[in-house]
Amino acid sequence: MDQIRIPVGDTDALIDPFGRHVIYLRVSVTDRCDFRCVYCMSEDMTFLPKKDILTLEELDRVCTAFVSRGVRKLRLTGGEPLVRRNIMALVESLSRHLKAGTLDELTITTNGSQLSRFAGELYRHGVRRLNVSLDTRDTAKFKHITRWGDLAKVDDGIKAAQDAGLAVKINMVALKGVNELEIPEMLEWCHAQSMDLTLIETMPMGDIDGDRTDQYLPLSVVRANLLDRFTLEDIPYKTGGPARYVEVKETGGRLGFITPMTHNFCESCNRVRLTCTGTLYMCLGQDDAADLRAPLRASESDAPLLAAIDEAISRKPKGHDFIIDRRRNKPGVARHMSVTGG
Ligand code: SAM
């Protein structure tokens, strides 16, 4: 699917103060993860108590409310979405919106560790594409970055997904001095397996054990270096997300750039993010948020929930202002990426 449909002239549509249609909801279904990526979490994370977390039925209700207001794309993320107990029940239940034609895409972002188990079911429930986060092809480095991960298991998961008929896109966070020299190799590997590759700039979110200025690698530099080896042609391909794509002439594959730091894409932002506790973040890079759990739990009617969603959208900010700066020793936003799921 190349384009997400934007509801035009739909009075129920979610339109923010800057005229942007919100048609994409990303849902972090759990804050837990079976990896501890060095740029994402500290090794010793405190996770949320169960009572604070929305049940699968509650998550379904919120997603359905958004779909009723014109959201056309849902992405489940985390934490690691596939470690949430019984997550396939949510995927199955949400797939009714695909069947009804009220949703264009139900998709997932995963670290791939559990894909061997779930790929077939995801496909059966209407998922057609997914993103796998993978920062290196080197087994030892993979262990170092993820702390707890096993590359062979992720490779098996990717293969299972492709065998099940799912299109896989690899997301790679570009990390200075860690995987920057591997980017050409990753690109060739992905394209040889018919997978798109998207590179992501590291964002200053949450306290981690190291210093982010050591890891930050601007993609403008990566792109310039790639030009020594590859011919990159800008293409209008869009997936509803923030990546800008090029076609790599030598491989015939697509390469995306997500550049929140060097070139933000806020003017075309069409998304909001729900955490597993029902907090709605209207911008990944701002702390302002709306609590949807209270109105959700307050009434069996969706009216209070829908009112809270409208109120939240009316507060969607124009953009974020992430800075990675040695003089500012604090993260740009306090929460970790695992709260809002990237
Ligand atoms: N566990 C799933 C996964 O690994 O894809 C979903 C959640 S994970 C937080 C989503 C994405 O955010 C991953 O691609 C991860 O590499 C990325 N990520 C985490 N922290 C980040 C940061 N500070 N800056 C940029 N990307 C980050």
For 109-135, how does the pLDDT look when each residue is reduced to its tens digit (9 = 90+)?
999 999 999 999 999 999 999 999 999
The residue whose CB lies within 8 Å of the most ligand 1 atoms, and thus the one to mutate among 337, 338, 339, is 337
Residue 204 confidence class, pLDDT cut points 50, 70, 90: confident
Q: Is the pLDDT at 148 greater than 60, yes or no? A: yes
- CB of residue 195 inside a 6 A radius of ligand 1: no
Residue 337 confidence class, pLDDT cut points 50, 70, 90: confident
Which residue's C-alpha comes closest to atom 5 of ligand 1?
A: 110
pLDDT at 328 (0 to 100): 56
Beta strands 196-201; 167-174: pairing state: parallel
337 C-alpha vs ligand 1 centroid, how far in Å?
A: 6
283 C-alpha vs ligand 1 centroid, how far in Å?
A: 16
- CB of residue 133 inside a 6 A radius of ligand 1: yes
Average pLDDT of the residues in 244-262: 94
Q: Is the pLDDT at 339 greater than 60, yes or no? A: yes
The residue ranking higher by pLDDT, 204 or 202, is: 202
pLDDT at 134 (0 to 100): 98
- CB of residue 110 inside a 6 A radius of ligand 1: yes
Residue 1 confidence class, pLDDT cut points 50, 70, 90: very low
pLDDT at 336 (0 to 100): 78
- CB of residue 200 inside a 6 A radius of ligand 1: yes
Q: Is the pLDDT at 327 greater than 60, yes or no? A: no
Asked which of 186-200, 233-247, 302-316, 328-342 is least confident by mean pLDDT, the reply is: 328-342
pLDDT at 9 (0 to 100): 53
How high is the mean pLDDT of the chain? 92
Entry pTM: 0.93
| Highest averaged pLDDT of the listed ranges 6-10, 266-270, 279-283 | 279-283
Average pLDDT of the residues in 61-74: 98
Average pLDDT of the residues in 164-193: 97
33 C-alpha vs ligand 1 centroid, how far in Å?
A: 11
Residue 291 confidence class, pLDDT cut points 50, 70, 90: very high
Average pLDDT of the residues in 258-266: 83
- CB of residue 178 inside a 6 A radius of ligand 1: no
pLDDT at 92 (0 to 100): 98
Average pLDDT of the residues in 209-216: 76
